[in-house]
Amino acid sequence: MKYLAFIFVLSLACSGCKRDMSISAIPKGIPMTDKIKKSDAEWMTILTPEQFKVARKKGTERAFTGATWDNKKEGIYHCVCCDLPLFPSTTKYESGTGWPSFFQPIAQDNVALESDRSFFSVRTEVLCAKCDAHLGHVFEDGPKPTGLRYCMNSAAMNFQPASPKP
């Protein structure tokens, strides 16, 4: 029985090994040379408790409760911590998950991807490339053209509506 449990755990650990989160078709952004580093105390003075929990402590808001999960307005979603543009509304779609979902970021260099092995699973975490804020996770079950679903937390982003057209 211990042997079967070991094999099961090993298979979970390796299930993400073959992932190719290819985002090569996404436009390059502005290279991030000036990373933002602040202490938790500094972040706590800037962010709400919910934003701090999600963006700085890798939390997750409850599904269908975030401010922008069902937002359909035109604009850009920015990092709540450093204001880096992350996702255009033109790549947002209804995934049925209860979190804002996008099929690609505004620029490849504006997000960073890291392996996340928490909660007995292997996922790919999405971070802000400028300040390392936790944004959410990316999965390979999204729509064309990328096949990716960037499942983000509303609390980690600010929405800036597009300027009215004259």
- Sorted by where each begins, the domain ranges of the chain are 35-161
pLDDT of residue 118: 80
Q: Strand ranges (DSSP E) for the chain?
A: 75-79, 85-88, 92-93, 101-102, 111-116, 123-128, 134-139, 149-152, 157-161
Task: Decide: 147 and 133 in contact? Cβ < 8 Å.
Answer: no
Average pLDDT for residues 127-142, to the nearest whole number?
96
Cα–Cα nearest to 48, from 154, 164, 128 = 154
| Interatomic CA distance for residues 106 and 75, integer angstroms | 11
Joined tokens for residue 44: 């706590």
Q: Domain 35-161 falls in which CATH fold?
A: 2.170.150
pLDDT, greater one: 35 or 7: 35
pTM equals 0.79
Q: Prior bond to 145 cis, omega within 30? A: yes
Question: Which pLDDT band holds residue 83 (cuts at 50, 70, 90)?
Answer: very high
pLDDT of residue 33: 55
Catalytic one of 79, 128, 131, 151: 151
Which tens digit of pLDDT belongs to each residue from 61-76?
Answer: 999 999 999 999 999 9
Q: Which position has the token pair 């202490």?
A: 39
151 is catalytic: yes
